[in-house]
Amino acid sequence: MPFFKRNKKENNVKSEVQKEVKKEHLTEQIDNYLSKLEKNESEDPTHILNMLGSLYFEKEDYDNAIKYYEESIEQRKTLGKAFTDLVKLYNIKRKEASQEGDREKVQVYLQKSDDLMKLTKDTIRGNM
Amino acid sequence: MGVIDFIINSILTQASITIALIAFAGLLLQRKPFGEILSGSFKTMLGFLVLSAGSSIIVGSLLYFGDIFSEGFGMEGIVPSIEAINGQAMNDLGLGNQIALTFLAIFLFNIILARFTKWKYIFLTGQALLWMATMTTVFGSAAGFSGLGLILVGGLVGGIFAVAMPAIAQPIVRKVTGTDDIALGHFCTIGYIFAAGVSKITGKNSDSTENIKFPKGLGFLSDTYLSVAIVMVPLYVITAIFAGAEFGSELSGDVNYIVYAFLQAVQFVVGVYVLLAGVRLLLAEIVPAFRGIALKVVPDAKPALDCPVLFPYAPNAVTAGFITTTIGTVIAMFVLPWFGLAMILPGMLTNFFAGGTAGIFMNAVGGKRGVLIGGIAHGFFITLLPALLVPHFNNLGFVNTTATDVDTVTAGLFFEWLIHPIMNLFG
Of all residues in chain A, the one with the smallest CA distance to B308 is A117
Query: What is the DSSP code (8-state) at residue B122?
Result: E
Is the pLDDT assigned to residue B179 strictly greater than 60? yes
Q: Exposed (0-12), middle (13-18) or buried (19+): which is A64, by Cβ within 10 Å?
A: middle
In A32-91, the residues whose Cβ lies within 8 Å of chain B are 79-80, 83-84, 87-88, 91
- Can you tell me the ipTM of this complex? 0.78
3-class SS string, B40-66:
HHHHHHHHHHHHHHHHHHHHHHHHHHH
A99 contacts B299? CB cut-off 8 A: yes
Please tell me the predicted confidence (pLDDT) of residue B222: 56
Predicted local distance difference test score (pLDDT) of residue A127: 66
Measured CA to CA in angstroms, residue B250 lies from B65, B69, B242 at distances of 13, 14, 14
| pTM attached to this predicted model | 0.88
Residue B221 confidence (pLDDT): 61
- Span B74-93, average pLDDT: 91
pLDDT per position as a tens digit, B108-125: 999 999 999 999 999 999
- Nearest Cβ partner of B181 from A91, A103, A110? A91
Instruction: Look at B204 and A88; give whichever has higher pLDDT.
Output: A88
Using the beta-carbon criterion (under 8 Å), do A84 and B181 form an inter-chain contact?
no
* Nearest residue of B to residue A106, measured between CA atoms: B292
Look at residue A53 in the predicted model and tell me its pLDDT.
92
Determine the pLDDT at residue A1: 47
- A-interface mutation test, from B226, B318, B349, most A Cβ less than 10 A away: B318
Measured between beta carbons, which residues in chain B are less than 8 angstroms from residue A117?
305-306, 308-309
Instruction: Decide if A15 touches B, using CB distance below 8 A.
Output: no
Which residues in chain A touch residue B293, judged by CB atoms under 8 angstroms apart?
Answer: none
Residue B321 carries which side chain, given as an amino acid letter? G
Nearest Cβ partner for A128 among B124, B219, B308: B219
pLDDT of residue A42: 66
* Tens of pLDDT, residues B112-168: 999 999 999 999 999 999 999 999 999 999 999 999 999 999 999 999 999 999 999
Q: Is the pLDDT reported for residue B106 higher than 80? A: yes
Is A103 near chain B, with CB under 8 Å?
yes
Cα gap A21→A37, rounded to integer Å: 24
The pLDDT assigned to A98 comes to: 86
Chain A residue with minimal CA distance to B318?
Answer: A124
Q: Do A128 and B179 touch (CB under 8 A)?
A: no
Report pLDDT digits (tens) over B227-253: 788 888 999 999 999 999 999 999 988
On chain A, the residues whose CB falls within 8 A of the CB of B318 are: 124
Contact at CB, B309 and A120, closer than 8 angstroms:
yes
Domain spanning A2-127, CATH class: mainly alpha
The stretch A17-46 carries a mean pLDDT of 80
Q: How does residue A100 score in pLDDT terms, banded at 50, 70 and 90?
A: confident
- Cβ burial B46-55 (10 Å sphere, 16+ → b, else e): ebbebbbebb
Residues in chain A: 128
